[in-house]
Structure 1
Amino acid sequence: MIGHDATDYPLSSRRRKRKFLVCINPFSGPGNAKQIYSHEVKPVFQEADIEVEELVTIKQNHAREFARTVSYKDYDAVIIVSGDGLIFEWLNGIMERDDRDQAIKLPMGIIPAGSGNALATAMLVSKQEQCFKNSHLHSALLAAKGRPTPMDVVEVHYGKKKVYSFLAVAWGIISDIDIESEWLRFMGSPRFTIQAFIRIMALRKYRGILYYLPAEGYSQSSHSTQNGHVVGGGGNEGESSNHKAPLVNNTSVSVQAGDGILNPSFQSSESQESHDGSSESDSPTTQQPLLPPLSEPVPSNWVKVEGKFVCIVVLQDSHLSRDIVAWPNRAFNEGVMCIQYVMYPVSRRHLLDVMVEMGKGDHMEKNSVTSVFVKAFRIEPLEEDGIVTVDGEKVEFGPIQGQMMETKANILIPS
């Protein structure tokens, strides 16, 4: 019965008590995840008559190891009480399973208990819920009332490793701020603001090459686009305005410078069309590959941007943290990434303005910020060392590349 398609089980005939697996990271952010869960989240689940099984992590990658072997069919959802780090662990543990195509459908509910809380914030904002006040309670209500909603996943390669990303790949000032602010972890989200000011005052430049495959024909309602590139942007004082993304058309360009969750397949109505009729042998590895090996050149229809950067961020989410709206109005399953980058030189004053505008998502209108929508990317640093992050986690420094996957994860929000 468990292996049948969700469409075989009408919602009205499958009313039953739900069961959530709750993963709590007591070391996340300020270190109060256990208190958040017991005081604000658990009472909501009890009131909703949801059975819970709790896992309190005791070490790094504990959730990843657990996800590799958990009997996921025993649960209607997994609830992550942590920051974005535990989501990354869980997702990658699931993707290391032989049955990952089915296991990844187990919906994730997110309770913000870390420093950044990007995905939790994006989920709250998508439903016009508060993310600055009573966010734990609102997130618990989203989970209790939620239904599976598909979310994009990006396959990322670096060194000899492969990981899966739901949030962002970053190199430059953004990744530096993230990792170098660890000494302020006890402060929660203000740590990023303080470290951002420090890093802007001691501004660095990063030599490298960015390659990407444009998502041609893609458009988002909040942006005017042509061949996958944002069109527009002002010319404010202090901005480096001599570089904008080239518009391409298959040409290589080089630029210098809720209730009754359907447990059997955890399938949402939004994802039903793309999954109906697919065989269990379908695998993330069977999709059309866009990435060559890192040791080989990219295809001729990719765009190349070479020069000195201030930052490169490859986004799959609307938020980079609770306070940073990186890609306004981004839906969870748009099937494309947004690369945002700033070239050097740029004034410190202007960069401060960009950081402030990121609080509202208005930074994309700045002439120094180039935004391109892509299906795949590669970043090749030309520096000897530095910091590259995937979903806020520091990874081996060096070339890194990724592509949007056809396989989707599920998050738990009301329809």
Structure 2
Amino acid sequence: MGTVVGANRNVNMSKDEIILEGQFEVFPRDKIVYKVECTRSGITYYPLDGVKSNKTLKYIHFGDVVGCRCRKSLDQKHSNKAYLTVFSYPVRKKFFGEKFVRFKNHITFARSSDESFDGNRKAVEKWRRVILHLCQELQLDKKDVDHCPVPPKTRLLVLVNPHSGPGKAMQIFQKQVAPMLDEADIQVKVIQTEYAGHGKEIMKKVNKKDYYGVVIVSGDGLIYEVVNGLMDRPDWKDAIKFPIGCLPGGSGNALSCAINYSAGESIESDPVLHATFILIKHRVIPMDLVMIEQPSSRVYSFLSVCWGLIADIDYESEKFRAIGEARFTLQALRRILSLRKYKGRLSFLPVSEYIPKSSNNNTTKSLHIPTKNRRVSMDDFENGDNDAYDRLRTKSVPWKLYNKKSFSESEEVEEKIDEELADVQESMASGDALPENTGSDEKSPANGEIKFALETENNLDNMVSGNGKPGDTSSVNCVQEVIRLPKSVDGKIPSILPPLDKPLPSDWVTLDEEFVSVAACYQTHLGSDSIMAPDARFNDGIIHLSFIKSGIQKGELLQLMSLLEKGTHIDFPSQYIEMVKCLAFRLEPEGKEGIIMVDGERVDYGPLQGQVLPGASNLMAIQ
């Protein structure tokens, strides 16, 4: 979570650790001169005529900084001064609660050491270039601070669904997201989707070289369109690696919640601010997809497949879309009180030995599988070209270790900054402008020079053995089985799944039951108040399969739903509820009436099967 710098280290740091130092005023306090020092971890400042101590020292951690900008005064009295505004979003504890949230805290330094504005501007511009390098964790040698260029800007394609959820996605982007992206010098092209499937059509045709990645401001439905649009392209192997980011603009916002949750950022308080902060400070992380096959179609899922109670709640709550995410809670109560049951067959290939909960009417077959850990390995995705994303974005300092409070500006000061100061065009801004796309095979700076690192996890460490502990292979009978798929032939993704009308291999588990609900999830969240798979990771190579069998009482279901908010439902002591980690599954519902949802989108009712595609796509997140 970034470099942690304690208060004592700041006070006693040696001269060698200081990259830049100077004397500045802090706007609007023009009568106090501060000594300002810049290290690789942040900026410290204290009154020049005071004693440098924990009480007088102020600190800005680069893990909280999204950008900075040079400015000049609109008042002729201060025409010689050059200003530097640092855009920071530190954390603070909420009143009457234990949670910590980010808040806007922009600090503006003023330099007037030179008599001329140009002299002060040149000094301030050097500080800006150094700060931009350090807050983005770009390589910077101390000897190069006088000559380091301005880092090139990122250019993003932003897709906004104006009809998603309560219909406020564009308003959210314009008022909350766009100002923060501007502070980070991120350029955007915004496209409003006009109809269902528009996002898929856009991604099938977009020139990837024009953008670093795509950001979705909507619910989960538009993300589903983007993923399937990329997979529908002739160059799908490369296209699916196009980084995807998302910001909450719909009702469900499950992936956005999972991203905030993974980064340790708030979901309840100002989720848009926290999600935008993560987008700016992100790393590129591989994200699993799941290939879903039905008799007449194949789609790619990033979130979940639901049948029964959860699917009914999701689809039937559409009539309450205007009330936002509360629609799910309302419909959940309605559906539990009028509970439905579905007869069908559920089969899955477990990651490790499956031990079912006892049941009087269990008709399970293939229960005792030799103890082993399985994982899927796909050369097509794992050996892909990810060289375009080899630079780290800094992670923010953890709030528990955040022991230096930033100098806090009031809203009044923020208004004064905007009213009294104007931005200054960087004089050494050669790296600011995006060059024209030449159409060559070389990666353009918009997609190549802004580089991020792939933060990967060892899939073996995330496999769960029979005793339920991550990575535990202590059993002498435990065997690691790697199901390695060959490279694709004729552009088709290889599969471990037999055709839907063919029997399954003997190492699969099959349950022939009456179910209340079945949900296959690969993200932690299904909504802001529903942590369905709390130990899921973006790239763990696992499908987290949960199912509720007929016989459960309504009171138990209501209690279970209340536990979903914190993810503690996994410890719920009921013989009717099971949660299994698997690599693939098959669902065969009986009858012709019912609802099946894939990533919140309704699909044909009938048999389907899915398999995990480990690390198939790329996500802008922090993990």
Answer yes or no: same fold by TM over 0.5. Answer: yes
- For residues 101-148 of structure 1, the C-alpha deviation after alignment (integer angstroms, 9 at most, x for no partner) is 111112111110111110000100111111111111111111111121
Task: Give the distance between the partners of 1:282 and 1:264, measured in 2 at CA.
Answer: 27
Q: 2:507 aligns with which of 266, 288, 301?
A: 301
Q: 1:247 to 1:185 in 2, by over 3 A?
A: farther
Residue 273 (structure 2) pairs with residue 137 (structure 1): yes
- For residues 296-344 of structure 1, the C-alpha deviation after alignment (integer angstroms, 9 at most, x for no partner) is 1212221100110000001111011111000113111000101100100
Task: Give the distance between the partners of 2:553 and 2:456, measured in 1 at CA.
Answer: 45
Partner of 1:65: 201
Q: 1:64 to 1:137 in 2, by over 3 A?
A: same
Task: Give the distance between the partners of 2:571 and 2:457, measured in 1 at CA.
Answer: 36
Q: 1:159 to 1:129 in 2, by over 3 A?
A: same
Residue 457 (structure 2) pairs with residue 249 (structure 1): no
Partner of 2:581: 373
Partner of 1:116: 252
Partner of 2:553: 347
Indicate conservation of the 8 Å contact 1:210/1:378, yes or no: yes
Task: Give the distance between the partners of 1:197 and 1:395, measured in 2 at CA.
Answer: 24
Residue 498 (structure 2) pairs with residue 362 (structure 1): no
Partner of 1:187: 323
Structure with the larger RCO, 1 or 2 (CA within 8 Å, 6+ apart): 1
Task: Give the distance between the partners of 1:284 and 1:76, measured in 2 at CA.
Answer: 28
Indicate conservation of the 8 Å contact 2:393/2:452, yes or no: no
Residue 213 (structure 2) pairs with residue 107 (structure 1): no
- For residues 70-103 of structure 1, the C-alpha deviation after alignment (integer angstroms, 9 at most, x for no partner) is 0012111211000000000000000001111111
Task: Give the distance between the partners of 2:243 and 2:336, measured in 1 at CA.
Answer: 39
The structure whose Rg is larger is: 2
Task: Give the distance between the partners of 2:567 and 2:187, measured in 1 at CA.
Answer: 39
Indicate conservation of the 8 Å contact 1:157/1:163, yes or no: yes
Q: 1:273 to 1:364 in 2, by over 3 A?
A: closer
SS at match of 1:411: strand
**Which amino acid in the other structure matches residue 285 of structure 2?**
T
Q: 1:259 to 1:250 in 2, by over 3 A?
A: closer
SS at match of 2:260: helix
Q: 2:164 aligns with which of 28, 40, 44?
A: 28
Q: 1:268 aligns with which of 453, 476, 500?
A: 453
SS at match of 1:129: coil
Indicate conservation of the 8 Å contact 2:286/2:454, yes or no: no
- For residues 318-371 of structure 1, the C-alpha deviation after alignment (integer angstroms, 9 at most, x for no partner) is 011111000113111000101100100111111111111111111122223201
User: How far has the Cα of 1:250 moved from its partner?
Assistant: 8.0
Q: 1:247 to 1:209 in 2, by over 3 A?
A: same
TM-score, normalisation: structure 1: 0.84
Task: Give the distance between the partners of 1:174 and 1:109, measured in 2 at CA.
Answer: 26
Q: 1:56 to 1:284 in 2, by over 3 A?
A: farther
Task: Give the distance between the partners of 2:272 and 2:300, measured in 1 at CA.
Answer: 26
Q: How does 1:228-243 map to 2 (within 5 A)?
A: none
Residue 214 (structure 2) pairs with residue 78 (structure 1): yes
Indicate conservation of the 8 Å contact 2:240/2:618, yes or no: yes
Runs of 5+ consecutive residues of structure 1 not aligned to the other structure: 1-9, 217-226, 252-257, 275-280
Q: 1:389 aligns with which of 588, 597, 611?
A: 597
Deviates more, 1:402-411 or 1:53-62: 402-411
Indicate conservation of the 8 Å contact 1:210/1:380, yes or no: yes
User: How far has the Cα of 1:271 moved from its partner?
Assistant: 4.6
Q: How does 1:92-103 map to 2 (within 5 A)?
A: 92-103=228-239
Percent of aligned positions that are identical:
38
Task: Give the distance between the partners of 2:215 and 2:354, measured in 1 at CA.
Answer: 35
User: How far has the Cα of 1:14 moved from its partner?
Assistant: 10
Indicate conservation of the 8 Å contact 2:545/2:581, yes or no: yes
Residue 313 (structure 2) pairs with residue 177 (structure 1): yes
- For residues 29-53 of structure 1, the C-alpha deviation after alignment (integer angstroms, 9 at most, x for no partner) is 0000000000000000100001110
Q: 1:290 aligns with which of 496, 513, 529?
A: 496
**Which amino acid in the other structure matches residue 315 of structure 1?**
C
Indicate conservation of the 8 Å contact 1:287/1:406, yes or no: no
Indicate conservation of the 8 Å contact 2:457/2:539, yes or no: no
**Which amino acid in the other structure matches residue 327 of structure 1?**
A
Deviates more, 1:68-77 or 1:372-381: 68-77
Partner of 2:619: 411
Partner of 1:331: 537
Task: Give the distance between the partners of 1:364 and 1:372, measured in 2 at CA.
Answer: 10
Task: Give the distance between the partners of 2:224 and 2:488, measured in 1 at CA.
Answer: 23
**Which amino acid in the other structure matches residue 598 of structure 2?**
V
TM-score, normalisation: structure 2: 0.57
Indicate conservation of the 8 Å contact 2:363/2:513, yes or no: no
Task: Give the distance between the partners of 2:363 and 2:257, measured in 1 at CA.
Answer: 30
Task: Give the distance between the partners of 2:274 and 2:308, measured in 1 at CA.
Answer: 34
Task: Give the distance between the partners of 1:146 and 1:284, measured in 2 at CA.
Answer: 35
SS at match of 1:345: coil
How many pairs were matched up? 377
**Which amino acid in the other structure matches residue 191 of structure 1?**
R
SS at match of 2:276: helix
**Which amino acid in the other structure matches residue 360 of structure 1?**
K
Indicate conservation of the 8 Å contact 1:101/1:282, yes or no: no
Residue 344 (structure 2) pairs with residue 208 (structure 1): yes
SS at match of 2:566: coil
**Which amino acid in the other structure matches residue 263 of structure 1?**
N
Task: Give the distance between the partners of 2:532 and 2:457, measured in 1 at CA.
Answer: 29
SS at match of 1:181: helix
Partner of 2:300: 164
